[in-house]
Amino acid sequence: MRKISLIIQREYLTRVRQKSFIVMTIIGPLLMAALFVVPVWLALQQSEDVTVLVVDDSFLFTERLENTETITFLYADNGLEGAKAQMATETGPDAVLYIHKNILSSTKGIQFIYESQPSIHVIRHIETTLSNDIEKFKLAKYGIEQSAIDAARTDVRLVTKKMDELGKESSANTEVSMMVGLFSGILIYMFIFLYGVQVMRGVIEEKTTRIIEVIISSVKPFELMMGKIIGIALVGLTQFMLWMVLTFVLVSGARAVIESQFTKEDMGGKSIEEVMAGNSTVAPGQGGEEAAQFNEAAMDDLMKNFDTINFGVIIGSFLFYFLGGYLLYSALFAAVGSAVDNEADSQQFMLPITIPIIFSFVMAQYVISNPEGPLSFWLSIIPFTSPIIMMVRIPFGVPYWELALSMVMLVIGFVATTWLAGRIYRTGILMYGKKINYRELWKWLRYH
C-alpha cells in the first residue's frame, strides 16, 4: 500500500505542476463564466441608432410605425428606387423597408434593404410590429374587436408535482430536471474521456522511454497501474473543484460589475437572469405587456423550481459516478496503453471502450424523454453506461434502491475490469516491438 501511495503522490504532483494543468485550470472557468456573462453583457449593450426609410405602397402603415430609443422611422414619397438612391447617399438612411400594396392578402414580398447588417433586435422589432398591426387590420376588416381577442387569449402554466410511493407530493419541473441532468451527464462524459486518455498516454510514454523497466524492478505492475489511475483521478477532482470555485467567483464578480454599471431601468426592469433568458422578445400576435407578464411568471417559476432539486444527492452522486466511471474506464485505457508501443496503434483497441461511452451520451436524450422506462432503468444499472445515464435520471427522482443497485454494480464492474486490465497490463507493459491483436490479448488474460 505504501508503494501505491508513493506512485499516487508522484503522479499527482507531476501533473499539477505541468503548464497544461495550470493553463486549463485558468481557461476552463473563464470559458464557463463567459457562457453566463457574455450573453448578459451583449443584451445590455445599447444598439447603434438605426434610421429606416419606409416605402409604404399600401398606405396602411404611414406614420403608424412608432420610433424606439434606437430605431427611427422616416417615410418616403419617391418610390422604392428613389428610396434606394437616397440610402446610397452619405446622409441617407441606414435601411429601407418596402411594404407592397397587397400586404393584407399576402405578407410575402416585404423587403428590408440595408448596406450594413443591422442587429437581430431591429429586424425582430419590425417583424413583430408589422405582424401585430396586420392582425389588427384583419380583425377590423371582419368586425372583430381587438379587446375581444385579448380577453379570449389565455396562457396556461401547469403546476407539476411528483408523488412518491408513500403518496407524498413534491414540486417538480421537467425543464429544470432536464437541464441539471443533461449538464451532469455531459460533465461525466467529458471527464471520463479527458482523464482516461491521459492514463493511456502516460502508460505509453513510460513504456516507450523504458522508464517502466526501472519502476517495475521496485513495484508490482498492478500497484503501478492502480497508483497511476488513482493519482490522475485526484488530479481530475482537483481541477474540477478549482473550476467550480473559480467559475463561481468569476460569475459573482461579473454580476456585481454589471449591476453596478447598469440600473434596473437599463435592464428594462428585469433581473440579470431574465435578461439572460431573453424574455423581452415578444412573439408575433401576442401583446407585449401580456407576453412580458407571462414570461416573467414563467421565469420566476423556473428559478423557484431550482430549489426543489436535491443538490446534495446530485453532488454526492456526481462525485461517486465521476470516480466510479473514471476508474472503470481508466483501467481499460491503461490496459490498452500497456499493449501498444505508440498512440496510433491504440485506435483498434479504443473502439470497444469508447462505444459504450458514446452510446450513453446518445441515449441521454431518450432517457430525458422517458426517465422511468425499462431501457432507462437497465442503462442506469449496467456499469459501462450507468455513470452518464444515472446522472441524467437522478434529477427526475430515482428510487434509492435503484441508486444503490446501480452503485453496487458499478463497484463490481470496476473490480472486474481492473482485474482483467491488470492481467493485460502485467504482460504488455514489458512487451516491445510486437504488433498486438485481440487473440494475443486473450492469451495474456489466460496467463497465470
Q: CA 364 to CA 341: how far, in whole Å?
A: 35
- Mark whether 187 and 236 lie in a shared domain: yes
Assigned domain for 36 exists: no
42 occurs within a structural domain:
no
Report which of 256, 413, 257, 421 is spatially closest to residue 335, judged by C-alpha positions. Answer: 421
CA–CA gap between residue 179 and residue 177 (Å, rounded): 6
Q: How far apart are CA 398 and CA 253, in angstroms?
A: 36
Pairing of strands 50-56, 71-75: parallel
- Above 90 in pLDDT, residue 377? yes
| One domain for residues 95 and 201 | no
Indicate if 198 and 117 belong to the same structural domain.
no
Q: How many CB atoms lie within 10 A of CB 205?
A: 13
Tell which residue, 205, 231, 233, has the closest CA to residue 13.
Answer: 231
Tell me, yes or no, whether 422 and 331 share the same domain. yes
Average pLDDT over residues 168-189: 75
| Domain annotation covers residue 192 | yes
For 447, the grid coordinates are: 496467463
The last residue of one of the domains, among 86, 119, 150, is 150
Q: pLDDT tens across 78-124, in order?
A: 888 888 888 888 888 889 999 888 888 888 888 888 888 777 778 88
Tell whether 342 and 395 lie within a shared domain.
yes
Please give the pLDDT value at position 386.
93
Q: Is the pLDDT of residue 410 over 90?
A: yes
CB of 442 within 8 A of CB of 423?
no
Q: In terms of domains, do 237 and 318 share one? A: yes
Q: How many CB atoms lie within 10 A of CB 367?
A: 27
Query: Which H or E run contains 207?
Result: helix 174-208
d(CA 199, CA 176): 35
How confident is the model at residue 7, as a pLDDT?
84
Together in a domain, 379 and 233? yes
Q: Is-above-0.85 flag for pTM?
A: no
**pLDDT at position 262:** 59
Question: Taking the CA of residue 189 as centre, how many other CA atoms within 13 Å lie in the half-sphere pointing to its CB?
Answer: 23
Query: Does residue 97 form part of some domain?
Result: yes
Mark whether 83 and 214 lie in a shared domain. Answer: no
First-last CA distance in the chain:
23
Has residue 22 been placed in a domain?
Answer: no
Counted domains in the chain: 2
Residue ending a domain, choose from 135, 150, 165? 150
pLDDT recorded at residue 279: 42
Together in a domain, 91 and 182: no
Same domain, 378 and 311: yes
Q: Cβ neighbours of residue 8 under 8 Å, at least 6 residues apart?
A: 227, 230, 231, 234
Same domain, yes or no: 177 and 249: yes
Does pLDDT of 282 surpass 50?
Answer: no
Here the cell at position 252 is 459573482
Domain limit, last residue, from 150, 184, 209? 150
The verdict on residue 261 lying in a domain is no
Task: Give residue 285's pLDDT.
Answer: 39
Q: Tell me what pLDDT residue 385 has.
A: 92
pLDDT at 405 over 90: yes
Give the CATH number for residue 108.
3.40.190.10
Give domain status of residue 270, yes or no. no
Q: Grid coordinates 412608432 are at which residue? A: 66
Q: Are residues 144 and 188 in the same domain?
A: no
**158 assigned to some structural domain:** no
Band (424; pLDDT cuts 50, 70, 90): confident
Domain containing 231 equals: 173-254+307-446
